[in-house]
Structure 1
């Protein structure tokens, strides 16, 4: 049995996965239909696996959390022209990631052999799931209502 196959322990407070779902779909999660829709949606989203992954990375260091996700996803990544990435000094790599976290992990996998010092701009919610991810990412607030001048300034200063 792997860490992501283990039973989910009982808890009193909402799990961070539930909090994030409610923040992303407030109308749905507050609707009368939610108790009926939730089991189907959770199955489609592999909710139990997501909860186990979140629980597994929560206590890890930033680097260990990225390594854990890399090993778990086991993406097959090939890199062309990696030598164009400077091995030292300042470097900014801009990468689109239309499918979410797997894309970020693919970029991590692609450049980590060349740049062990890489730090990534990433959704600030990642730090809510795994607080020490702040060691490996620069949190960016994506929720418009949570953005403040101070948070934007902190993001830019961290870069």
Structure 2
């Protein structure tokens, strides 16, 4: 499925759709400030340039447009067959996923699939690569069937078990929150080995500080997400390192009640791959 013309971002229209007649009372300077905050002009230029690319081709364009380079270590650890689950840390919230999707699809000459928050289905050029799940509500049968269908196939499936972008923790260390056990159970059910991967990258300190402030104020909505477009463009010309570890055979995993322990163990394996040994 494709759409006519590139998608575009229009803050004023979104506010009008959400607020209705009340949007008239918003000061123009506030709307323009929001447009700058989310890098509306830069995002629309990128989306227009990428059109009509989709999936991995879209991701490749984004990396090229930004001048981002990838250094991949441990590629020999990847199984010859792409039929695996790739599980890793999620430090950036945008370019880490784009990089992973582009490189894995190139490596396997296949379309890597990505388990994501269902809200990201709005990124239409990647909708066919995404497997949506609902993090905040009940999981629909259709979404569950979509995940099971992807896992029954032969393409690699990528998942960020934390379900959120990494956060600033004690001692100033940026790391994922607790990993959820779902991916362990799914690996056992689908007979897929889990390949650990560490993505070496960080957002700006302001992103993590805002997340910590929001949490301290008891605000549940992840307002720091509005800064992610800025973080994407801040990465211009950067070089990121992806380090793949040895596959963990699905036969060695314990599902069910012990899956949470397995998730913690796999998280430790991923962070042991950190080339800078931050953890």
Q: Could you say which TM-score interval applies, normalised by the shorter chain?
A: 0.5 to 0.7
TM score, norm. by length of structure 1 = 0.64
Aligned 8 A contact 1:17 1:50 in 2:
yes
**Corresponding residue to 2:116 among 122, 140, 143:** 122
Aligned 8 A contact 2:82 2:108 in 1:
no
Aligned residue number for residue 94 of structure 1: 87
RMSD: 3.4
- Counterpart Cα distance in 1 of 2:45 and 2:138: 27
Aligned 8 A contact 1:97 1:103 in 2:
yes
Aligned 8 A contact 2:90 2:96 in 1:
yes
1:50 and 2:8 matched: no
Closer, same or farther: CA 89–64 of 1 in aligned 2, 3 Å: closer
- Counterpart Cα distance in 1 of 2:51 and 2:138: 22
Aligned 8 A contact 2:121 2:127 in 1:
yes
Residue 145 of structure 1 and its aligned partner are, at CA, apart by 5.8
- Counterpart Cα distance in 1 of 2:137 and 2:8: 19
- Counterpart Cα distance in 2 of 1:90 and 1:65: 23
- Counterpart Cα distance in 1 of 2:8 and 2:119: 9
**Corresponding residue to 1:18 among 3, 10, 13:** 10
Aligned 8 A contact 2:113 2:150 in 1:
no
Alpha-carbon displacement from aligned partner over 1:28-52 (angstroms, at most 9, x marks no partner): xx66446432211211321111122
3-state SS of 1:154 partner = helix
- Please show how residues 104-115 of structure 1 align to structure 2 within 5 Å: 104-115=97-108
The runs of 5 or more residues in structure 2 that have no matched partner are 1-6, 152-279
3-state SS of 1:94 partner = strand
Aligned residue number for residue 54 of structure 2: 61
- Counterpart Cα distance in 1 of 2:34 and 2:82: 45
- Counterpart Cα distance in 2 of 1:68 and 1:116: 17
Aligned 8 A contact 2:57 2:102 in 1:
no
Aligned residue number for residue 150 of structure 2: 158
- Counterpart Cα distance in 2 of 1:140 and 1:146: 12
Aligned residue number for residue 139 of structure 1: 131
Closer, same or farther: CA 124–65 of 1 in aligned 2, 3 Å: farther
Aligned 8 A contact 2:116 2:131 in 1:
yes
Closer, same or farther: CA 101–42 of 1 in aligned 2, 3 Å: same
- Counterpart Cα distance in 1 of 2:9 and 2:100: 24
